[in-house]
A and B are shown apart, each in its own frame.
Chain A
Amino acid sequence: MDASQILTSVSILGGVGLAFGTLIALAHLRLRVWEDPRIEALTDVLPGANCGACGFAGCRAFAEGVLEGAAVPAGCTVLSRDEVEDVAEFLGVDVGESNRRVARLLCAGGSDVALRKADYYGIESCAAALAVTGGGKGCAWGCLGLADCAVSCDFDAIHMTPFGLPWVEPDACTGCNDCVVACPLDLFVLLPVGDPLLVQCRNLMEGEAATEVCSVACNACGRCVQDGAPGLIEMRSGLAVIDYGRIGEANPEAIGRCPTGAIAWVLGAQDFPGAPVTSEVT
């Protein structure tokens, strides 16, 4: 093979490449869509978890929302307070207010207080246990403690206590809803971090039937209904239900006479035995 053949092919391919390259460069100049460079910059600063807790379809959509004025930097629940302020300063906008929500577990029945009827051997997953005949817990509504929620949490905000309850670290929780979807018993809710009144039970049985299976179950005695602000708490099919539309009227007296502790006044993290002690969060 002589050198001219190589030269020919190189020059043909090079020429073609050059021609198309020029075409692309021209097209880029002519057909360019201008994009705010701050979107890219902001997306890089955002956590990139695409958790959706802000209400947008991912971090980039949130960045666009902030620049359009549809959202405020504080809407991102994953960023720390300092980072949010940095973002606001960079964009020259107000930090804004966000109603930060955290995941709360509607069960306090750890293995220390809840009856266990049978041992479960099988796939270590709440959903898998429920797909057969449950996890052997006395209360059919209560937390099975096989940690589907902790596995689903992208922020390592859920830790299992020694008594098999998932404990949510409020500072790490972003309110992304993953645990709410993961729990097959629908035991998680997202509540504003400042709303302290919470019924930590889903057991629909009443009286001794409820407390026989779990000593911290709501036995539907109705004392909290009398002690809370009028109309704030209602007894509905064996369970105290709080009207969160009127949570502003709540006061700690509502939990004062609860015989089992099913209704709780939660400042910061939920108080489960064996959980790490945390200070009050804002």
Chain B
Amino acid sequence: MLAGWSFRHGVHPPDSKALTEAVPVRRMPFPREIVLPLRQHAGKPARLIVRKGDHVERGDKVGEADGWISVPIHASAAGTVTDVDWWPHPDGSMERAVRIAVDEFSPQIPRPRMVPEWEGLDARDVVAAVQQAGVVGLGGAAFPTHVKLLPPDGVTVELLLVNGAECEPYLTTDHRTMVEFPERVHFGTRVMMRTLGVERAVIGVEKNKPDAIDVLRRTAPTDLDVEVVPLTVKYPQGAEKMLIKTVTGREVPSGKLPAHVGTVVQNVGSIAAIGEIFQTGLPLVERIVTVTGPALRRPSNLIVPVGTKLRDVLDFCGGLREDVAEVLFGGPMMGSAQPDLDVPLLKGTTGVVALTHRETKPKTAYPCIRCGHCLDACPVFLNPQLLGSLAQAGRYEEMEAASLMDCMLCGCCSYVCPSNLPLSQMFALGKAAARRRRELVA
């Protein structure tokens, strides 16, 4: 154990979490309309199983898992399907989405126990139950959680790593989950440990959340080997590979999965979601979201039904200030700016950050001066300066040869660049070009 050590490189952006880190989680009332895109997770989108006019109860499926790397989508409120049509998606495109007019006077009582009791289930049943409950990684990538519960053949997993780092500025979603729902975190950890057959679990929490560390330690089960490890405050501590490096000292090889170094990493929010579905019997229909930022009147931590429109969430938080310039899904380092306030909050939406002109002032990009700051910042040891100049020249194939695919778009290079070069956007462009080239070849 290298507790107290850290991964190399990285940056120290101001964490800006004071706006919401002490604000208790509140439940947002059901909005009038819920919009559920069929693509909310990594992998294959869900397959539509409802029609216009159908009535759904809270927790009923509107989309079925289409294959192994896919999960169902559940109605997050009782109501009537008014339409299945194109709707703005947080990734900027238009997607097929189920629109549900929420019953105004419904008590929103879910059907009894849609997820089976955990006691007595074997590992395969747990995996199936987690898939059927629609659980995905709540840390942003929305990768179906059940896939991680079955490690690939020939790989032994020794350690479950619960990711409570939450290194992204502004966001306090995981922080509040750990402080207010520690028993869910521990219960979810127990379920995952038994399913994976691992003996040891480590919950990694950055040191700027001492209350979360304290609560988790006090409530930790005595019959399991679960350790809470305080982590150095550094961005991107919460990146899967960085966390493994910090906690175990091992490095995940390029192109390999954490399972190849005997570890499974799971976001603390997803762990709590696993705990929650087995406790309540209700599939994943809501999540905790930090809604914050200097351009928001009442920064809050909210329990939001999946599919609630951004506009409704902002209104519930007192609305935007006049000087708002940009609304992000996710934090300022990796989040995406939203061009439309009608986009729904999805399972993978970790937070909403509203920024003013002061934080987002566009800066002129100057030529690269070869200072090398980006090389010292890149946590996966790429050469952003080289990749950037290749991107500017449109030489995307050479970018791939320079390990572009190891880039996780954490934004450290753009953050430190004194010439204000939009490096991580260039890398997003390079990755999109690589995808497109593969499609053209196929």
Contact = CB atoms under 8 A, between A and B. Distances in A.
A128 B338 CA distance: 16
Interface size class of B (residues with CB under 8 A): 20 to 34
A111 interface: no
5 contacts: A127-B429, A133-B339, A134-B92, A136-B339, A137-B339
Interface stretch (B13-21, B152-160, B215-223, B430-438): B430-438
Contact of A127 (B94, B339, B433): B433
B280 interface: no
Contact of B422 (A122, A130, A137, A141): A122
Interface string A99-138: 0000000000000000001101111010110111110110
A128 B362 contact: no
A209 interface: yes
Interface in A185-228: 204-205, 209
A184 interface: yes
Given A122-B422, A128-B426, A134 B432 contact: no
A117 B338 CA distance: 10
B225 interface: no
Interface in B394-442: 422, 425-426, 428-429, 431-433, 436, 440
B428 A118 contact: no
Given A133-B338, A140-B93, 4 more contacts: A128-B425, A131-B425, A131-B432, A134-B339
B359 interface: no
A203 to B, nearest CB: 9
A122 B425 contact: yes
A140 B92 contact: yes
B91 interface: yes
Given A118-B339, A130-B432, A209-B85, A123 B425 contact: yes
B381 interface: no
Contacts of A130: 92, 432
B406 to A, nearest CB: 17
A133 B429 contact: no
For the complex of A and B, list the 3 residue pairs with the smallest distance between their C-beta atoms, beginning with the closest: A134-B92, A133-B92, A118-B339
B388 to A, nearest CB: 11
B354 to A, nearest CB: 13
Contact of B94 (A122, A184, A205): A205
B337 interface: yes
Nearest to B435: A131
B90 A133 contact: yes
B362 to A, nearest CB: 4
Q: Which of B85, B338, B429, B433 has the most CB of A within 10 A?
A: B429
Contacts of B429: 123, 125, 127-128, 131
A205 B85 contact: yes
Given A205-B86, A205-B94, A133 B433 contact: no
B340 A131 contact: no
Nearest to A206: B85
B336 interface: yes
B432 A140 contact: no
Interface string B345-372: 0000000000000000010000000000
Nearest to B343: A133
A123 B91 CA distance: 17
Given A132-B337, A136-B339, A209-B86, A184 B92 contact: no
Among B339, B362, B422, find the residue whose CB has the most chain A CB atoms closer than 10 A: B339
Contact of A123 (B88, B337, B426): B426
B340 A118 contact: yes
B232 to A, nearest CB: 30
Contacts of B85: 205, 209
A87 to B, nearest CB: 33
Interface in A122-164: 122-123, 125, 127-128, 130-134, 136-137, 140-141
A123 B414 CA distance: 13
A121 B362 CA distance: 7
B140 to A, nearest CB: 14
- A117, A127, A133: most-surrounded residue (chain B CB, <10 A): A133
Contacts of A121: 362
Interface string B318-345: 0000000000000000001111100000
B86 to A, nearest CB: 5
Given A131-B429, A140-B93, A117 B422 contact: no
Given A132-B336, A136-B339, A205-B86, A123 B432 contact: no
A123 B422 contact: yes
A192 B392 CA distance: 34
A20 to B, nearest CB: 40
Nearest to B428: A131
Contacts of A134: 92-93, 339
B86 A204 contact: yes
A276 B336 CA distance: 38
Contacts of A184: 432, 436
Contacts of A140: 88, 92-94
Contacts of B432: 127, 130-131, 184
B372 to A, nearest CB: 22
Nearest to A182: B394
